[in-house]
Amino acid sequence: MTDRQRIPSPAPSLPRVAGLVVVDKPLGWTSHDVVSRMRRLAGTRKVGHAGTLDPAASGVLVVGVEKATKLLTYVTGTNKTYRASIRLGAATVTDDAEGDVTRTAAPERLAALTDDAVLAAVAELTGEIQQVPSAVSAIKVDGQRSYARVRKGEDVELPARPVTVHEFTVHGISREPSDAEPTAVDVDATVTCSSGTYIRALARDLGEALGVGGHLTALRRTRVGSFTLEQSHTLDELTEQVRAGGTVSTLAIDDAARGLFPVRELAAREATDLSHGRRIAAARVHPGGASQANGAASRSGVGAGDTESAGDAAAPGSKGPEGSRAGLPVACFAPDGTLVALAEDRGPADRRYTTSVLGIAAGMTFTDATASEESGAQAPGAGQDGTTRTERTRH
């Protein structure tokens, strides 16, 4: 039996849930390896990931399934947190432990290196900085990946680019060997940074700043936006879920969007128009930051047409180390909680309108239950508790 045959797939009768799966990527696996496994476990080819993790790194890899792959671009752009181990005293060609050592520091130089000096150099690498990506990164140079050029023996010099290191906290500094003149100084740290920051480049630059060389020896990603290790599942856990007759644990696309974007609750007519690609009235910004348009109350208790900041301070896009929601589209929901589209406001100040930039539930009609009741018909899905719900029909 081949490895592929040993990996279960969900029964054809089970629904393929569109959503995000937070995977704890194991060491030695590429991000594409994880996607290949998830295609089998989810029973669909439509699977992608947000933010590559090298084989030598482990931790949070956010995987999108079915329509939720449309959200991955926005997940990729969120800030990330890592637990990193950095070795000072040796530089390598790859800026990590996988590459050949290019130079080492003299033991007496390392013996003179104080903890205060390390902490001062770390402080200089915190905040908004200009970073030269590692030469073995996937950045393209004249149409070819930088790492491919390095493997061919080429000297690759990439331009510096702005990144933000929100946190660079040192948890421990140790020396090897501890009972003699050191040949290496190990730094254990947590780094929270903007998308596009290379932790191995931070290790390299820390070593360069101290004049002893440095490289990354271990890396574990603990957070991508609001998605953390505590929410993650190992591939073995996901495999057992499917083998037991179920489906993989998935954060539904509606819930994922509420955690990633500002939210606007729509009336049924607005939801129908947006679903069919038509413009709708822009939300009116009220004091206090809430945005409002006319419409029925949604089942969440927020008025239809309202815009609310979804999630807590740890949500991706919120202010602080997790990022800013400024510039993000708005997740627009029908009264029954269906994610209709990601949208943004356009037009001059006196004629603003909202238009879809990414359709999710396309070509659907949303009928307000109360409208059916007023015409004398009991609306399917209308609750006895007075809750307004909608029925959906596809043309």
- Is 3 one of the annotated active-site residues of the chain? no
Check: CB of residue 303 under 8 Å from CB of residue 265. Answer: yes
C-alpha to C-alpha distance for 88 and 86, rounded to whole angstroms: 6
Burial 28-63 (b: 16+ CB within 10 A, else e): ebebeebbebbbbbbbbeebbbbbebbebbbbbbbb
- CA torsion through residues 76, 77, 82, 85, sign: positive
Output the six-digit token pair for 195: 């998308």
Check: CB of residue 393 under 8 Å from CB of residue 365. Answer: yes
**Amino acid present at 273:** D
Check: CB of residue 51 under 8 Å from CB of residue 75. Answer: yes
C-alpha to C-alpha distance for 185 and 174, rounded to whole angstroms: 6
Query: Which one, of 280, 381, 289, 384, lies nearest residue 335 by Cα?
Result: 381
CA end-to-end distance (rounded Å), the chain: 45
C-alpha to C-alpha distance for 255 and 42, rounded to whole angstroms: 18
Check: CB of residue 129 under 8 Å from CB of residue 165. Answer: yes
Catalytic residue among 54, 96, 273, 368: 54
Output the six-digit token pair for 359: 């359709």
What number of helices (H) and strands (E) belong to the chain? Answer: 11, 24
Q: What is the largest CA-CA distance in the chain?
A: 90
Query: Which one, of 146, 142, 20, 143, lies nearest residue 76 by Cα?
Result: 20
- CA torsion through residues 258, 260, 265, 266, sign: negative
Output the six-digit token pair for 313: 């301070």
Tell me which residues are annotated as active site: 54
